[in-house]
Chain A
Amino acid sequence: DTGVSQDPRHKITKRGQNVTFRCDPISEHNRLYWYRQTLGQGPEFLTYFQNEAQLEKSRLLSDRFSAERPKGSFSTLEIQRTEQGDSAMYLCASSDNRGQIVGELFFGEGSRLTVL
């Protein structure tokens, strides 16, 4: 069983460009989460999916951000018209919550975004 994988691991882009990150969760995990982590801070919740349904979005997720999870498998996080303040580590996590309310999160290694 492979863990959560994220791609790309690093992305450097110029301000105003669009970027897309991909996350492949642990197979059969029904929940998938996106978090953002900046230097010296803990992960901040962005959004989550239960299967293919996006059930919650943080206020941190401006209209430049969009996430999808087609068919309830992998997920993509797109940031349009990037700004320097978007520079951060974008973390994906998955969990198996069948049979219980709260399962632990399994994190990927993250996608580091640098906006010049």
Chain B
Amino acid sequence: AQKVTQAQTEISVVEKEDVTLDCVYETRDTTYYLFWYKQPPSGELVFLIRRNSFDEQNEISGRYSWNFQKSTSSFNFTITASQVVDSAVYFCALSEANTGGFKTIFGAGTRLFVKA
């Protein structure tokens, strides 16, 4: 069964601090996809990144970076030099290829507060 755990319910940082959001997943499939989505106060979930299980290269996009480690089943997300606009709920998600990839399972989310 697939499962995503985001142990951090809320994180509060001061602007310009770095912050890491943790994500641990469970799956029996060897081929799967991991995602991060952002849900700002306006409510609409926005896609940030997708990784497949065969690509463990870390990725950097501007102030965002992702660390994928299959050995620990983790897919952590780091925001460098956080800004107030980063305040949102962030969801980690998992989709297994053996289900046709249709069923994306989300974690409970981590609410990030960035104070000016």
Q: Which residues of A contact B44 (CB under 8 A)?
A: 107-110
Interface Cβ pair total, 8 Å cutoff: 62
Given known A-B contacts A43-B91, A104-B35, A56 and B47 have beta carbons under 8 A apart: no
Residue in A closest to B50 when the chains form the complex, CB atoms: A104
Question: Restricting to A38-93, which residues have a CB under 8 Å from any CB of B?
Answer: 40-45, 48, 50, 55-56, 89, 91, 93
Write out, one digit per residue, whether chain B residues 45-56 have a CB within 8 A of any chain A CB (1) or not (0): 111001010000
B13-64: which residues lie under 8 A (CB-CB) from chain A? 33, 35, 37, 42-47, 50, 52
Within 8 A of A (CB), among B62-91: 91
Complex alpha-carbon distance, A55 and B102, angstroms = 9
Decide if A56 touches B108 in the complex (CB within 8 Å).
no
Q: In the bound complex, how far is the Cα of B97 from the Cα of A16, in angstroms?
A: 39
| Shortest Cβ distance from B104 into A: residue | A105
Give bound CA distance, A97 to B42, whole Å. 27
A1 to chain B, nearest CB (A): 15
Interface size class of B (residues with CB under 8 A): 20 to 34
- CB of A43 within 8 A of CB of B100, answer no
CB-based contact B45/A40 at 8 Å: no
Neighbouring A residues of B45 by C-beta, 8 Å = 43, 91, 93, 105, 107
Chain B residue, CB-CB nearest to A93: B45
Q: Roughly how many angstroms separate A50 CA and B46 CA in the complex, as a whole number? A: 22
B113 contacts partner chain A, Cβ-Cβ < 8 Å: no
Do B91 and A102 touch (CB < 8 A)? no
Q: A97-B101, A109-B44 are in contact. Are A102 and B33 (CB under 8 A)?
A: yes
Question: What is the bound-complex CA distance between A88 and B52, given in angstroms?
Answer: 31
Question: From residue A69, how far is it (CB to closest CB) to chain B in Å?
Answer: 14
Minimum Cβ distance to chain A for residue B26 (Å): 15
Closest 4 CB pairs of A and B: A42-B106, A102-B101, A104-B47, A107-B45
